[in-house]
Amino acid sequence: MENLTLPAKLQKVIDFFSQLPGVGPKSSMRYTLLLSNWNEEKLLSFGQSLKELTKLEKCYRCGLFSEGDLCHICQSSYRNQMKVICVVESLSDCLAIERAQQFKGTYHILGGVINPLLGIGPDELQIDKLVGRVLNESIEEVILALNPSVEGDATCSYLKQVLPEGLSVERIGFGVPIGSHLEYLDSMTINKAFENTTIIE
Ligand SMILES: [Zn+2]
CATH number at residue 15: 1.10.8.420
**Does the residue 3 lie in any domain?**
no
Query: Does residue 33 sit in the same domain as residue 98?
Result: no
Output the CA 101–ligand 1 centroid distance in Å.
16
CB 190 within 8 A of CB 176: no
Mean pLDDT within 172-188: 75
* CA 180 to centroid of ligand 1, rounded, Å: 25
Average pLDDT over residues 129-147: 95
Q: Which residue has the higher pLDDT, 185 or 47?
A: 47
Give the CA distances from residue 197 to residues 29, 65, 165, 174, in Å, rounded to whole numbers and listed in that order: 45, 27, 19, 9
In a domain, 131, yes or no: yes
Say if residue 30 is in the same domain as residue 122.
no
Let me know whether 132 and 170 are in one domain. yes
Would 1 be classed as within a structural domain? no
Structural domain boundaries, residue 91: 57-199
In the chain, at which residue ranges do the beta strands (DSSP E only) sit?
57-58, 65-66, 84-88, 106-109, 141-144, 168-171, 198-199
Q: Give phi and psi for 87, each to the nearest 5.
A: -95, 125
Cα(156) to centroid of ligand 1, in Å?
A: 21
pTM metric for this prediction = 0.80
38, 63: one domain: no
Q: Are residues 65 and 106 in the same domain?
A: yes
Q: Are residues 119 and 73 in the same domain?
A: yes
Q: In this structure, is residue 2 part of a structural domain?
A: no
87 three-class SS:
strand
Task: Kindly report, residue by residue over 166-178, the tens digit of the pLDDT.
Answer: 899 999 987 655 6
Q: How far is the CA of 108 from the centre of ligand 1 (A)?
A: 8
- Report how far ligand 1's centroid is from the alpha carbon of 60 (Å): 7
User: Whole-number mean pLDDT of the chain?
Assistant: 91
Query: Number of folded domains in the chain?
Result: 2
Cα separation, 138 vs 57, whole angstroms = 26
- CATH number for the domain spanning 95: value is 3.40.1360.10
pLDDT at position 22 over 70: yes
Residue 3 in this model has a pLDDT that exceeds 80: no
The answer to whether residue 179 scores a pLDDT higher than 70 is no
If you measure from the C-alpha of residue 71 to the centroid of ligand 1, how many angstroms do you get, rounded to a whole number? 4
Tell me, yes or no, whether 19 and 82 share the same domain. Answer: no
Q: How confident is the model at residue 2 (pLDDT cuts 50, 70, 90)?
A: low
The verdict on 83 and 171 lying in the same domain is yes
